[in-house]
Amino acid sequence: MITDAYSTADRSDSTIPFDSQHRSGSILAGESNATSPGDSHEVAIVTFTAVAAVSETLLELFQKQIEQRRNVSFSRSDVALTSPETVDADSGVRLGLFLYHVTRDEKAGAAAPEIVQSTKRDPPLPLSLQYLLTAYPMDDEGEQATGTLAQQRTLGLAIQLLHDNSRLEPDACAAGLDQERHLSITVTSEPLDQLTNLWARFGDATYHPSVTFEVSPVLVQSTNEESVTRIDERETDLSRRPDEPERL
């Protein structure tokens, strides 16, 4: 169901309990926190920028690949990460990308806590990001029919790019995405009434040809950590007790 509100996912019952004294603080993406001599454990470098990193990756994907096409007259500024409510005749946007819904990705399954040396971190939260992709007409396209066809070609080109890049590897994405699992891009089929209701929330914005798609799983790493002690060896005494009779 389409809404314009961001949903919040509650922590699952499988969350590993931990002592509050072992919690680490939040660290900005890209920053490091070196362990001081008095620290009892290393603080993991974690990020909270996964959602923004995916949006930045998609924007760069459209801008770069459309710009490389010789049969289209596009520039990087024609593609923008923006709400349909802010696009008008003077904005110069021909292709708009808008994140309209965030949900927990139930298809990702349960994840186990991560253990690195003597530190255990809570599992990441898997998300599914829903985007609205909209093609806009240009003012200088002359006749209305010509402008409409150009608008539809723009949308078709964008859908083709989504189809050809349906799998994104983490190392090819923008900085701030801390995960090893690849991202899947899937064009979704939203009912017309839900798509119309979504556009109705954009105020006086005029409806334009659009498509919705989702990106998943986007993992938001946890900052909840606790120190653990690994058991490498365990001694077991199998000797017979003094009062135990000897067996033949």
pLDDT tens-digit readout, 78-135: 999 999 999 988 888 999 999 999 999 998 877 777 777 777 878 899 999 999 999 9
Q: Please check whether residue 29 lies inside any domain of the structure.
A: no
pTM of the model: 0.72
Q: Please check whether residue 33 lies inside any domain of the structure.
A: no
Q: Please check whether residue 21 lies inside any domain of the structure.
A: no
Mean pLDDT across the stretch 179-199?
93
Of 226, 231, 222, nearest to 17 by C-alpha is: 226
- List the beta bridge partners of residue 38: none
Q: Which among 29-38, 101-110, 223-232, 234-243 has the top mean pLDDT?
A: 101-110
Tell me 240's DSSP state: P
User: What's the confidence (pLDDT) of residue 244?
Assistant: 62
Q: Give CA–CA dist 212/38, Å, rounded.
A: 51
Cα 32 to the center of its chain, rounded Å = 22
User: What's the confidence (pLDDT) of residue 144?
Assistant: 60
Q: Please check whether residue 62 lies inside any domain of the structure.
A: yes
Q: Please check whether residue 145 lies inside any domain of the structure.
A: yes
Q: Is the dihedral of CA 136, 138, 139, 144 positive or negative?
A: negative
Hey, what are 14's tokens?
């499988």
Mean pLDDT across the stretch 220-242?
73
- List the beta bridge partners of residue 125: 220
Q: Please check whether residue 230 lies inside any domain of the structure.
A: no
User: What's the confidence (pLDDT) of residue 132?
Assistant: 97
User: What's the confidence (pLDDT) of residue 3?
Assistant: 43
Tell me 86's DSSP state: G
Are 76 and 63 in contact by the 8 Å Cβ rule? The answer is yes
Q: Give CA–CA dist 101/83, Å, rounded.
A: 12
The residue that leads in pLDDT, 219 or 140, is 219
Number of domains into which the chain is organized: 1
Are 216 and 166 in contact by the 8 Å Cβ rule? The answer is no
Q: Which amino acid is at 175?
A: A
Q: Please check whether residue 30 lies inside any domain of the structure.
A: no
Residue 148's domain spans which residues?
A: 49-219
Q: Please check whether residue 165 lies inside any domain of the structure.
A: yes
User: What's the confidence (pLDDT) of residue 2?
Assistant: 43
Q: Give CA–CA dist 62/157, Å, rounded.
A: 10
The residue that leads in pLDDT, 147 or 94, is 94
User: What's the confidence (pLDDT) of residue 140?
Assistant: 57
Q: Give CA–CA dist 157/85, Å, rounded.
A: 23
Where residue 144 sits, what CATH number does that domain have? 3.30.2000
User: What's the confidence (pLDDT) of residue 108?
Assistant: 81
User: What's the confidence (pLDDT) of residue 126?
Assistant: 94
Mean pLDDT across the stretch 185-191?
93
- Over residues 28-85, the pLDDT tens digits come to 333 333 333 334 333 334 468 999 999 999 999 999 988 887 777 778 889 999 999 9
